[in-house]
Structure 1
Amino acid sequence: MSGSSELPKSLPSQHSENFVAWFRSVAPYVNGFRGKTFVVGFGGKAISGPLAKTFAYDVNLLASLGVRLVLVHGARPQIDEELREKGIEPRYQGNYRVTDAATLDCVIDAVGSVYLEIEALLSQGLPNTPMAGSTIRVVGGNFITARPVGVLDGVDLQYTGAVRKIDGEGIKAQLGLGNIVLLSNIGASPTGEIFNLGMEDVAEAVAVAVGADKLIYLTDSQGASDAEGKLLDELTADAAEQLMRVGDWLSPDLKRYLPCAVRASRRGVKRVHIIGYTDDGALLQELFTHDGVGTVITRESLDVLRVAKPDDIGGLLSIIEPLENDGTLVPRPRELFEREINRFSVIEHDGLIVGCAALYPYGNGMAELACLAVNPDHRRWGYGERLMHHIEQQARVAGVSRLFVLTTRTSHWFLERGFALASVDELPDEKRLMYNYQRRSKVMVKTLVAE
């Protein structure tokens, strides 16, 4: 959708069903994001690259859906180009650019040029494009108060600055009017001096000041990865901080952005997303699909394992019903879930129930592990095993010494996790009398060792 400069008048019939299913699947996100505040930070490379136009399309779509947007841009490559044209050698001290008076002139020229380019991108309205008929108002202002960094390791950084204060109320007032707020990486001090700031620091400070629901960084990589290059789709703030200490393999952008992401998360920003600016539509894919395409950083884990409650019945049924339909699980009356909801445990991922299991105690130190089910899209994350261990722990607390399951299709999964085949005669009397010989479920038993 966002990657095309022209929109078709109708969908081919063979794609219509997929389109309808996709459109329905994003409805919860549309409802959930309306009225929320997102801060999007991106460097000058994202604007100078080939996907700048489609990025504007995606920003337009978010604004059309009622998302309150603050855009914070940088201009590092544009500043370097200005310096080269004027024959000025860039100087750095640690992670900071040394900004003398001549360099500051280049910063102002480059930042102003990028700002106007973004305004132009967001002002498009050609027919047959995603921005046809859009009425986006982009506003800026003196919302950032800066201060000098000063002397670092004996080097005076001069006009290199840091964020001193953000006018959060002023920004929120503009967002309340339906405007997109566009901010750059420069700020003025109370004495009227202009300072060169880090885009990532500005985005962090703005997100905290306005109480953003999401802070999104567009970077030179798909997201944070481990030493083998595997994408880490979610990190807690503590895990991200540990990655910063050992992650020599991380890209230059990530080394700058991760510290800001950790601080923002710990200071109240609910979600910090890191995605790649080289992937067309990455912003939409990250926000409107459950798995996303980048890395999300939160203060605490997105996974929650807890006892089920009545409000969870809808989520439970969405997981269990497909398994009942294909014969993996025995169909249960829906009123049974309402009566026995306290026997169930669920695991949530980012607010969505993705797995469940139940514990049914019997006499003689035995209990049944029942209804162990995980959403197919999330089975690779080990949720089934986590639920099994959770039920085992509940059973131990209840004085259960032997846990059994009845299964028709997953016997090997249980065998690999310590269960052994048993006979129907080993079941508790009550369960043995209810055994369905037509299903011929395999009986598997595990002896629980005290921890």
Structure 2
Amino acid sequence: MSNATPDFNSQHFEVAGFIREVFGYMERFKGQLFVLKIEDDLMSHPLFPVLMRDIAILHKAGIRIIIVPGTRNSIDAQLKAWELESSFYAGVRLTSEETLPHIEQASLGVAQHIMSHLTASGLRGIQGNWVLARSMGVIDGIDYMRTGRIERIQRDILDQLLDEKFVPIIPPIGWNKLGHAYNISSTELATELCKYMKVGKLFFIGNQNGIKLDGLVTGKNTKYLEPTESGVISAMDVDQAKELLELNSDQLDFAQMDYLMNAIHACEAGANRVHLLSGEFQGSVLQEVFSARGDGTMVYANQYSSIRPAIMEDIPDILRIMQDYIDKGFLVPRTQESISEKLKDYVVYSIDNSIHGCGALHEFENGMAEVAGIAVAANYRKSGIGDAIVRHLISVGRMKGYKTLFLLTTQALDWFYHFGFVDGTVDELPPTKRDHYNKKRHSRILMLPLDK
């Protein structure tokens, strides 16, 4: 007999679940292309070498990587050193003939700095210019001079370099067919790569640790967004991102609005995921890649998480997730056979095709149904998954026309109260459930009328 304490068992389940998750994501992302825009103000941060090492870990795990350096701070410092003026209009730098050589020098310097760190981590970085650009010209009376727009990215060269295990570093300088240089936006460059390359993930890595939900106005699509423990919106789809932009033009700062707009554009261009996260926290990139709930904010184009009917292949995961609850006495034991017999009653919460929560709605006589088997993987219990499953089962109960839902619980009374459940008695249970009520376990009974 094991002498392990409940806390030790919880930690064991959490660690084991995390290990499974990491291996699952490693297999999923192997061979995919990640584009990383890295802000240059991180280069002076003590953890910058750690960030570069973590990027090397991604590459060694079989992930293909392109890096786009953000260069705004380095350009500002270079121009200040030469006592040159630089102005912006609508967030875009106006590049004069006089400032362009200094902007080029600063941009190439940032790329070289990143490449030296990649080399120190055992990677083969390669810096080059594979971007064709054209002048922005004059817009609404504003002459953008030597600021340009991207015309084309030389995908064939980048594909060849990626196949040869290089990490291309693309500074935000473009050239026209006559060899004239243009200063281009690094954010635009990172986003445009999603149009030319098949990008699995696009990262904006700076000092913003995601977008906080507190203080934002929410609407129909965003009212159920769940923040992390740090208050950050963990994930949203493109429609939710558009709604936040529309409703919060006064609450979001320029950087957050710029991220959301470019995240939407990148997803619409073909990127699966776009992440905003801070490079000032150790391991933030690895956690964002190898965990379904990282530290940053993610905008996704395709389905990221969903509650769906359980299938036979889900049964081992359902048993795995339930086991910690069973060990603590929160749930009665289930077997593969007992779940299989009532599989049509079960739903699972799936994130990137991994199961992290489950629940069931069992039909009884007298227009009643039981909410049962609610369980969430140990490392996702503060993610809102349990709430989502219960709300889904209540919705299913209404859709099927049940008059009353009920449940039996020993530890989660207060949690179920906030869904509208109220105290009930054994006599109120449907006859077949009442006849099998375990008096020794003495579970509390909660009821939720649906016909009101």
TM range (shorter): 0.7 to 0.9
Q: CA deviation at 1:227?
A: 4.8
Query: 2:414, 2:74 → 1: CA distance?
Result: 59
CA distance, structure 1, for counterparts of residue 320 and residue 279 of structure 2: 35
Change (3 A) 1:36 1:360: same
Q: Is the 8 A contact 2:195 2:266 kept in 1?
A: yes
Q: Which moved more, 1:329-338 or 1:44-53?
A: 44-53
**Separation of aligned partners in 1, 2:414 and 2:244:** 36
- Is the contact made by 2:208 and 2:277 (CA closer than 8 Å) also made in structure 1? yes
CA distance in 2, matches of 1:412, 1:79: 56
Q: How many residues align?
A: 425
**Is the 2:125–2:167 contact (alpha carbons within 8 Å) kept by the matching residues of 1?**
yes
**Residues 93 and 171 (structure 1 numbering): CA distance in 2 closer, same or farther, change over 3 Å?**
same
From the superposition, tell whether residues 62 and 379 of structure 1 become closer, same or farther in structure 2 (CA, over 3 Å). closer
User: Any conservation in 1 of the 2:128–2:171 contact (CA below 8 Å)?
Assistant: no
Whether the 8 Å CA contact 1:225–1:250 is kept in 2: the answer is no
User: Quick one: which of 19, 26, 30 aligns to 2:26?
Assistant: 30
Which residue number in structure 1 is paired with residue 196 of structure 2? 209
2: CA distance, partners of 1:339 / 1:316: 14
1:159-211 deviation digits (Å, cap 9, x = unpaired): 10111112223322221221111111011112322110100100011133211
Structure 1 residues 41 and 24, CA, compared in 2 at 3 Å: closer, same or farther?
Answer: same
Structure-1 residue corresponding to 2:403:
401
Q: TM-score, normalised by structure 1?
A: 0.87
Change (3 A) 1:419 1:97: closer
The verdict on how the C-alpha distance between 1:418 and 1:114 changes in structure 2, with shifts beyond 3 A counting, is closer
Answer yes or no: is 1:232 the counterpart of 2:233. Answer: yes
Offset from partner CA, 1:95-127 (integer Å, 9 cap, x none) = 111112111111111122222222222222xxx
Q: Which amino acid aligns with 1:180?
A: V
For 1:400 and 1:238, the matched residues in 2 are separated by: 33
> Which SS does the other structure have where 1:331 is aligned?
coil
1:77 and 1:428 mapped to 2: Cα distance?
Answer: 69
In 2, Cα distance between the equivalents of 1:54 and 1:19? 25
Tell me the residue number matched to 2:171.
Answer: 184
The 5 A counterparts of 1:5-24 are none
| Structure 1 contact 275–293 (Cα < 8 Å) conserved | yes
Give the CA deviation at 1:425. 3.0
Distance between the aligned counterparts of 1:415 and 1:100, measured in 2? Answer: 64
Unpaired segments of 5 or more residues in structure 1? 1-16, 125-130
1:350-429 matches, cutoff 5 A: 350-429=352-431
Which amino acid in structure 1 is aligned with residue 157 of structure 2?
G
Q: Which of 1 and 2 has higher RCO (CA within 8 Å, sep 6+)?
A: 2
Residues 7-406 of structure 1: pairs in structure 2 closer than 5 A: 26-124=22-120, 131=121, 134=122, 136-228=123-215, 230-245=231-246, 246-299=248-301, 302-406=304-408
Identity of aligned residues (%): 30
Structure 1 residues 420 and 248, CA gap change in structure 2 (3 angstroms): closer
Change (3 A) 1:35 1:116: same
Look up the SS of the partner of 2:199 in the other structure. Answer: coil
Aligned partners of 1:176 and 1:425: how far apart in 2?
69
How many Å separate the matches in 2 of 1:208 and 1:53?
Answer: 30
Structure 2: distance between partners of 1:398 and 1:24: 36
Q: Which residue of 2 aligns with 1:10?
A: none
Contact 1:227 1:249 in 2 (8 A): no
CA distance, structure 2, for counterparts of residue 226 and residue 396 of structure 1: 30
- SS of structure 1 residue aligned to 2:382: helix
Q: Contact 1:406–1:442 (CA<8 Å) still a contact in 2?
A: yes
CA distance in 2, matches of 1:140, 1:387: 48
Q: Is contact 1:93-1:152 (8 Å) kept?
A: no
Instruction: Render the CA deviation track for 1:118-171: whole Å, top value 9, x for unaligned.
Output: 2222222xxxxxx3xx3x222244421111111122121111011111222332
Quick check: 76-85 or 104-113, which moved more?
76-85
Q: Which moved more, 1:83-92 or 1:376-385?
A: 376-385
> How far apart are the structure 1 equivalents of 2:49 and 2:379?
32
User: 8 Å contact 1:43–1:199 — kept in the other structure?
Assistant: no
Match of 1:8 in 2: none
Aligned-residue RMSD, C-alpha: 2.5
**Residues in 2 aligned to 1:364 and 1:432: alpha-carbon distance in whole angstroms:** 13
Query: 2:129 touches 2:171 (CA, 8 Å); kept in 1?
Result: no
Quote the offset at 1:284 in angstroms.
2.0
Residue 437 of structure 1 corresponds to which residue in structure 2? 439
* AA matched with 2:380: H
Distance 1:415 1:340 in 2: 26
Query: Which stretch shifts more, 115-124 or 23-32?
Result: 23-32
Q: Distance in 1 between matches of 2:116 and 2:190?
A: 21
State the secondary structure of the residue aligned to 2:116. helix
What is the CA–CA distance in structure 1 between the aligned matches of 2:29 and 2:376, rounded to whole Å?
26
SS at match of 1:280: coil
- 8 Å Cα contact 2:275-2:296 kept in structure 1: yes
**Residue in 1 that maps onto 2:219:** none
Displacement of 1:244: 3.4
CA distance in 2 between counterparts of 1:284 and 1:118 reads 18
- In structure 2, the CA distance between the partners of 1:399 and 1:92, relative to structure 1 (3 Å rule), is closer
Give, in whole Å, the separation in 2 of the partners of 1:419 and 1:18: 30
Q: With structure 2 as the length reference, what TM-score do the two structures score?
A: 0.87
**Deviations 1:333-376 (CA, angstroms, capped at 9, x unpaired):** 21122232111112223433222221221222122222122334
CA contact (8 A) 1:220 1:253 kept: no
How far, CA to CA, are the matches of 1:20 and 1:394 in structure 2?
Answer: 33
Give the 3 Å change call, closer, same or farther, for CA 154–172 of structure 1 in structure 2.
same
